[in-house]
Amino acid sequence: MINKNTIVLGIESSCDDTSAAVIQNEAILSNVIATQDIHKKYGGVVPELASRAHQQNIVPVVHAALLEAGKTLDDLDAIAFTRGPGLMGSLVVGTAFAKALALSKNIPLIDVNHLQAHILAHFIDKNDGNKPEFPFLNLTVSGGHTQLVLVKDYFEMQLLGTTIDDAAGEAFDKIGKILGLEYPAGILIDKLAKNGNKDAFTFAKPKVDDYNYSFSGLKTSVLYFIQKQEKLNPRFCEENLSDLCASVQFTIVETLLTKVRLAIKNFPCKDLSISGGVAANSALRQDIIKLGEENNLRIHIPEQQFCTDNAAMIAIAGKLMFERGMLATQEISANARLKIGV
């Protein structure tokens, strides 16, 4: 099954970004992403609009990815797509498209787990050739997921902890909305926090057992705090925006790291990595690097374009699955609630 020159097309459509990428062995030749701006108007992803936009975008995005990679459909060894988890309507578009394309070209079809793919993004070729060694600990933080995972092998992942309510990215986005910021607010909070004081306001950190997380309490306490302050000064939020962003960001990052510290202690590994959209956060990146230095751990953070939802991570997962003969059949269907492993 191992082909010296494996070329895989990856397709990602789990949420609000339509993406296609071409990988040759471990090197990404193209990674095209069509972001759906329509959701900004509503302050969050509207599932029905997302699936309609995927349908409009998928053909031009795949076409652009092939063009940029300098490949044609005839060059492909396999087609990998996101089976789940995600929004059902969005997943169905990518699944149906990938199935039809694989059938028409008579090439293997590969169903990728989006959560595994966020982690497998660490195996995309980088200039430094640095890749995590098994076993390693990975924190996946995105708009839909917060998971602390012990990665024993490419496809042997143990879920240590997860969020019991909002995901970390969701917390950034929902708190951003309270602060009057546009969706998705994570990147804006990150930017504004650079000019703010993280100690200006103190928000309680959640107390949740084991390796699990909770972020909805923080959202509520920020909301009540702002409402109270705005009764005294209607311009409170505006006048303290950078400090609020820095304090909220600090609380989220500290909450995330508390459980990572516990996992490092109980599951000794040489490598620690972060993935998912929130891994683009500059405070989290900085603090995780510091944590690595303090604990003599190698730290792995994917390039920014491979942190947020992208098809390059689907393509690398697909390539690794292709080599292992992990293929799908035409009977496969999308699964909105796909889990990461044990």
Helix (H, G, I), strand (E, B) or coil at 122: helix
> Which one of 66, 93, 244, 280 is in contact with ligand KG4 (CB under 6 A)?
280
Q: Is 147 in the site for ligand KG4 (CB under 6 A)?
A: no
- Span near ligand KG4 by CB under 6 A; candidates 131-139, 199-207, 270-278, 322-330: 270-278
User: Which residue do the tokens 């940029």 mark?
Assistant: 68
State which residue has the least CB distance to ligand KG4: 277
Binding mask 8-47 for ligand KG4 (x = CB under 6 A): -------x--------------------------------
Tokens of 212: 């699990």
Task: List Cα–Cα distances, 82 to 302, 313, 334, in angstroms.
Answer: 19, 10, 8
Residues 164-203 interacting with ligand KG4 (rule: CB under 6 A): 169, 172-173, 184-187, 190
Residue closer to ligand KG4 by CB (options 110, 189) is 189
Least distance in Å: CB of 45 to ligand KG4?
9
Of positions 308, 319, 322, 334, contacts ligand KG4 by CB under 6 A: 308
For residue 186, the partner it binds in ligand KG4, Zn ion, none, with Cβ less than 5 to 8 A by kind, is ligand KG4
**Amino acid letter at 207?**
K
172 makes contact, choosing from Zn ion, ligand KG4, none, with CB < 5 to 8 Å by partner type, with: ligand KG4
How many CA atoms lie less than 13 Å away from 50 in the CB half-sphere?
24
Q: Dihedral sign, CA of 249, 255, 258, 264? A: negative
Q: Which of 8, 18, 4, 85 shows the shortest CA–CA distance to 309?
A: 18
State the alpha helices, DSSP H only, in 70-178. 88-105, 114-120, 168-178
Number of CB atoms found within 10 A of residue 153's CB: 8
278: partner contacted, choices ligand KG4, Zn ion, none (Cβ within 5-8 A by kind):
ligand KG4
The strand pairing partners of 196, in sequence order, are: none
Positions touching ligand KG4 (CB under 6 A) are 15, 142-144, 169, 172-173, 184-187, 190, 276-278, 280-281, 308-309
